[in-house]
Amino acid sequence: MRQLLLYCRAGFEKECAAEIQDKAGQQGVAGFCKLSNNSAFVIFEAYDSESLASFYRDYDFDKLIFARQWCLLVDEKLELDPADRVSAVVQAALGAELRNLGELRVEYPETNDGKTLSTLARKFTVPLRQALRQCGVLLKKENQRAPVLHLFMLSGKEAYLGLSYPENNSPLENGIMRLKFPSEAPSRSTLKLEEAFIQFIPKDEWETRLASGMNAVDLGACPGGWTYQLVKRSMMVVAIDNGMMADSLMDTGQVKHYQVDGFKYTPDKKNVYWLVCDMIEKPQRVGDLVCDWLINGWCQESIFNLKLPMKKRYETVAEVLEAMQQKLKEAGLRVRFQAKHLYHDREEVTVHVCKA
Ligand SMILES: C[S@@+](CC[C@H](N)C(=O)[O-])C[C@H]1O[C@@H](n2cnc3c(N)ncnc32)[C@H](O)[C@@H]1O
């Protein structure tokens, strides 16, 4: 197995490729990427299968920003006969000596064409799972600790077959976190912060880290989608933006709105836990600002978006994160960083940083 399949947002194949090549390269895994624009996936082919296997096993998937999911390809592209798709998959799995896998996911690229495969993928899952169980490729019962088999359908006639490890993959179908838009929220942006909380903060820590009564500051808050997520968790929010906040949020009594510049606002007291920031600004400027908040002790944790430039998007994100880490280290702060191109993000990535 010399190839990794990485799923990403359509239009971000170059970023996904630049990142995997950079990060695998740093671990001594040389290779090249195969991609086509707007396909929503990338294949990374390593020159050496053993080093790829250990990279895939040991490198923390959560450190990848642009990949939503990754799996090791077990074979070249499979040809599927629409009259009997099951046999080709079973043969390929047996040929690769796959045994005792815990789960089957039939997936597809998140493109307009890809999405038309969702019904087929759902219907095909049932007979394929049954056949794979009968021949021992899959365990008789779903097991969330055993490896996952991915059939990534490119069309009704072609697919890739891959393998991932549940301790180091995305647990989500297609790597996508689907969330329902809360009708009371003033903007769809609300889903970005909701997804970020789920992605970055373990559920069993929500009671202490997303607790009611906490103070939060939201820079670039209007009309209030992010503030809504904080208010919903019974926090007190200072919303900074020259625009207008939704009345429904102001009516809660939990929000103070100041129409001032987010780069100039400083809190009166050091009682703010969360700083969130969705201002449309140069990523370097936002990175510097968040560092200042942490260094001055004005917040404990932050979630913010880095709006991506038109070109060199991966390189820009990597540079900004590197500069932030350096600045915080020089100030003697130990922090943890996580960054992800979330499903609800567009031309931006979401970053979480907290004091270690
Ligand atoms: C993408 S919108 C924020 C959407 C918001 N997070 C929500 O969920 O509704 C960006 C906001 O940043 C604000 N903004 C941009 N630069 C700013 C600055 N220097 N200070 C304060 N707000 C700023 C804009 O007025 C705009 O409302």
Q: 154-196: per-residue pLDDT in tens? A: 999 999 999 999 999 999 999 999 999 999 999 999 999 999 9
The answer on 207 and 107 residing in a single domain is: no
> How far apart are the CA of 141 and the centre of ligand 1, in A?
49
**Atom 15, ligand 1: which residue's CA is nearest?**
279
- Which segments of 201-297 are extended strands (E)? 215-219, 236-240, 255-258, 272-277
User: Could you identify the residue written with the tokens 């038309």?
Assistant: 116
> How far apart are the CA of 65 and the centre of ligand 1, in A?
23
In a domain, 184, yes or no: no
User: Could you identify the residue written with the tokens 């671990």?
Assistant: 27
Q: How far is the C-alpha of 353 from the C-alpha of 346, rounded, in Å? A: 20
Q: Exposure string (b/e) for 258-269, b if CB count within 10 Å is 16 or more? A: eeeebeeeebee
Last residue of a domain, one of 140, 175, 210: 175
Annotation-wise, does 268 bind a ligand?
no
Judge contact between 245 and 255, C-beta under 8 A.
yes
**Atom 13, ligand 1: which residue's CA is nearest?**
220
Judge contact between 71 and 175, C-beta under 8 A.
no
The answer on 274 and 149 residing in a single domain is: no
Mutate to test the pocket of ligand 1, among 179, 240, 241 (most ligand atoms within 8 A of CB): 241
Q: How far is the C-alpha of 218 from the C-alpha of 343, rounded, in Å? A: 21
- Kindly state if the Cβ of 261 falls inside 6 Å of ligand 1: yes
- Each residue's pLDDT expressed in tens, for the chain with a length of 356 residues: 799 999 999 999 999 999 999 999 999 999 999 999 999 999 999 999 999 999 999 999 999 999 999 999 998 999 999 999 999 999 999 999 999 999 999 999 999 988 899 999 999 999 999 999 999 999 999 999 999 999 999 999 999 999 999 999 999 999 999 999 999 999 999 999 999 999 999 999 999 999 999 999 999 999 999 999 999 999 999 999 999 999 999 999 999 999 999 999 999 999 999 999 999 999 999 999 999 999 999 999 999 999 998 889 999 999 999 999 999 999 999 999 999 999 999 999 999 999 98
The answer on 238 and 301 residing in a single domain is: yes
Q: Which of 207, 100, 85 is nearest to 151 (CA)?
A: 85
The answer on 111 and 220 residing in a single domain is: no
- The domain that contains 266 carries what CATH number? 3.40.50.150
> How far apart are the CA of 286 and the centre of ligand 1, in A?
12
Mutate to test the pocket of ligand 1, among 197, 244, 280 (most ligand atoms within 8 A of CB): 280
pLDDT of residue 114: 86
**Beta-ladder partners of 300:** none
DSSP line for 96-134: TT--SB-EEEEE--SSHHHHTTHHHHHHHHHHHHHHHHH
Number of structural domains, the chain? 2
The answer on 22 and 156 residing in a single domain is: yes
Domain extent at residue 27: 3-175
pLDDT of residue 277: 98
The answer on 207 and 136 residing in a single domain is: no
pLDDT in tens, 293-326: 999 999 999 999 999 988 899 999 999 999 999 9
In a domain, 232, yes or no: yes
The CA distances from residue 17 to 164, 170, 224, 332, in Å, are 19, 18, 34, 34
Task: State the catalytic residue, choosing from 232, 307, 312, 327.
Answer: 307
Sign for the CA dihedral angle at 130, 136, 137, 143 comes to positive
In a domain, 182, yes or no: no
Is 307 one of the annotated active-site residues of the chain? yes
